[in-house]
Amino acid sequence: MKLLLLPGDGIGPEVTAVARAVAERLISQGLALDIEEAAFGGASIDAHGTPLTDAAFAQARAADAVLMGAVGGPKWAGVPRTVRPERGLLRLRRELELFANLRPVRCWPALEDATPYKPQTVRGADLVFVRELTGGVYFGEPRGIEPLPGGGRRGFDTQVYTSAEIVRVARAAFRLAETRRGKVTSVDKANVMESGVLWREEVTALHAAEFAHVALDHMYADACAMALTRRPTDFDVILTDNLFGDVLSDAAAMIAGSLGMLPSAALGIGPTPGLYEPIHGSAPEIAGQDAANPCAAVLSLAMALRHSFGRADLAARVEAAVEATLTHGFRTSDLAGGSRRVGTAAMGTAILERLG
Ligand code: IPM
Ligand code: MG
């Protein structure tokens, strides 16, 4: 099996180095895995003039899983929009058709006191977003910025979904709910958007046809934002479009205490590799300072073990090692509480020690 690492920008290389060390530990214990690395995002712009070279894309396609660190940063703020660092990521998601983005969020018992919530509000919260990842306003055409005849300019994007796009991601959400607590909350703005009306109709029809045994409710995106804060324990699987999922998953991160705790998996259908990413960004303000939290990257590796390598056993071991590390009080600076303030590398060492 092949794992392609795309460390990317900012804190990406630091956190993927920890994930790599965890993978190498598993390899030394018998996991048959080849690790490759390629430049990505701003790092690839600097080296090759493009955020994702065709060679790196071919490497990704040939891998079983791709683990990305983070992309972007102020250094590339001035590059033309078509070659922004993020474009490499969007190309990977789109061309590999990784339409189902799983973003699990839980309140770790060890971090109950590290969130901005009252412990009783978040205790036991355990939910997962299934975010549509290859459609919607991220890719809809037409889009652009154009001058207006009378002066000024007009910027526009297109929010668009086909029924096929909605049905395949909704199916992924229902299937996931079957393996969990059997509840899907579908999020839209059907009160305002036509694409939201279609979203709700298609999800409702699929539910009636194939998943009537799963509980389904619908929520407007704004109400969902509030409900996530008020009663996060109410949720099991949250099905969203691309943009709502981006926004709501960052907001939900505080249930875990930090964006630095949230992994993700982007999955397609058939032989396409899975793409695994911490949901945090490149955090340029702390890059290179050994301050980033590597947990999200390590937990993303665990998701790769589970979803791409068929090794749920190893995934559970890695997750348990992260949990034990937190329970022992180790915290990077993004996490409140704890008894041992450590940097990225020391957090990695602590995780490895508990991995055995
Ligand atoms: C995410 C990120 C990306 C997104 C950016 C980096 C393009 O915010 O994965 O949540 O908006 O999807
Ligand atoms: Mg985001």
Query: pLDDT tens, 122-141?
Result: 999 999 999 999 999 999 99
**Whether residue 249 has pLDDT greater than 90:** yes
Return mean pLDDT, the chain. Answer: 97
Cβ of residue 9 lying under 6 Å from some atom of ligand 1: no
Among residues 9, 64, 138, 334, the one annotated as catalytic is 138
Segment 187-196 shows an average pLDDT of: 98
86 lines ligand 1 (CB under 6 A): yes
For 84, the token pair is 């922004």
Q: Return the sign of the alpha-carbon dihedral for residues 16, 19, 23, 24.
A: positive
> How far is residue 47's CA from residue 42's CA, in Å, rounded to a whole number?
9
Annotation says 113 is catalytic: no
Residue 271 has pLDDT above 90, yes or no: no
Q: Report DSSP state, residue 267.
A: E
Nearest to 303 by CA among 119, 123, 102: 102
Q: What is the pLDDT of residues 56-67, one digit of tens each?
A: 999 999 999 999
Chain centroid to CA 224: 19
Residue in 11, 78, 81, 52 with CA at minimum distance from that of residue 277: 11
Tokens matching residue 22: 């965890």
The predicted-structure confidence for 150-186, as pLDDT tens digits, reads as follows: 999 999 999 999 999 999 999 999 999 999 999 999 9
CA of 279 from ligand 1 middle (Å) equals 7
Which atom of ligand 1 approaches the CA of 277 most closely?
9
Per residue in 87-130, pLDDT tens? Answer: 999 999 999 999 999 999 999 999 999 999 999 999 999 999 99
Of ligand 1's atoms, which has the minimum distance to the CA of residue 72?
6
The answer to whether 241 is a known catalytic residue is no
**Neighbouring C-beta atoms of residue 110, cutoff 10 Å:** 21
Q: What is the mean pLDDT of residues 254-277?
A: 95
**Across residues 276-290, what is the average pLDDT?**
97
| Ligand 1 mutation target, pool 11, 86, 92, most atoms within 8 A of CB | 86
Q: Can you give the pLDDT at residue 107?
A: 97
Q: Which ligand is nearest to the CA of 40?
A: 1
What spacing in Å lies between the alpha carbon of 3 and ligand 2's midpoint?
23
Mean pLDDT across 325-340: 95
Is any ligand 1 atom within 6 A of the Cβ of residue 89?
yes
- When pLDDT is averaged across residues 220-224 and rounded to a whole number, the result is 98
Ligand 1, atom nearest to 90 Cα: 7
* Ligand 2 centroid distance, CA of 161 (Å): 20
Q: Which of 34, 46, 113, 222 is catalytic?
A: 222
Say yes or no to pLDDT of 69 above 90: yes
Task: Return the pLDDT at 82.
Answer: 85
Cα–ligand 1 centroid distance for 10 (angstroms): 15
> How many angstroms separate the most distant Cα atoms in the chain?
68
pLDDT band at 265 (very low <50, low <70, confident <90, very high): very high
pLDDT-derived band at 270 (thresholds 50, 70, 90) equals: confident
Quick one: average pLDDT of 314-336? 97
Whether 81 has a pLDDT exceeding 90, the answer reads: no
Q: Which long-range contacts (CB under 8 A, 24 or more apart) does 48-55 make?
A: 49/83, 50/83, 50/88, 51/83, 51/84, 51/85, 51/86, 51/87, 51/88, 51/89, 51/91, 52/87, 52/88, 52/89, 52/91, 52/92
Percentage of the chain with pLDDT > 70? Answer: 100
Supply the pLDDT for residue 289.
98
- Helices in the chain by DSSP H: which ranges? 12-28, 42-48, 54-62, 85-95, 119-122, 163-178, 194-210, 221-230, 242-256, 295-307, 312-327, 344-355
The pLDDT of residue 284 is 97
**Catalytic site residue 234?**
no
Is residue 161 annotated as a catalytic residue, yes or no? no
Atom of ligand 1 nearest to the CA of 101: 9
In the predicted structure, residue 340 carries a pLDDT above the cut 90 = yes
Give the pLDDT of residue 239: 99
Whose tokens are 């960052």? That residue is 250
Active site residue 9: no
Kindly report the pTM of this predicted structure: 0.96
Q: Other C-beta atoms within 10 Å of 340: how many?
A: 12
